[in-house]
Amino acid sequence: MPADLPAWDRVYAFFRRWREHGLVKEFHDRLRGRAREARGPRSGADRCGHRLPVGQGRRLGARRHARL
> Does 22 or 64 have the greater pLDDT score?
22
Rounded to whole angstroms, the Cα distance separating 41 from 21 reads: 31
CA distance 68 to 57: 17
pTM: predicted TM-score of the whole model, two decimal places: 0.46
- Identify the band that residue 60 occupies on the pLDDT scale cut at 50, 70 and 90: low
| Helical segments of the chain, H only | 8-20, 23-39, 59-67
Rounded percentage of the chain residues whose pLDDT exceeds 70: 59
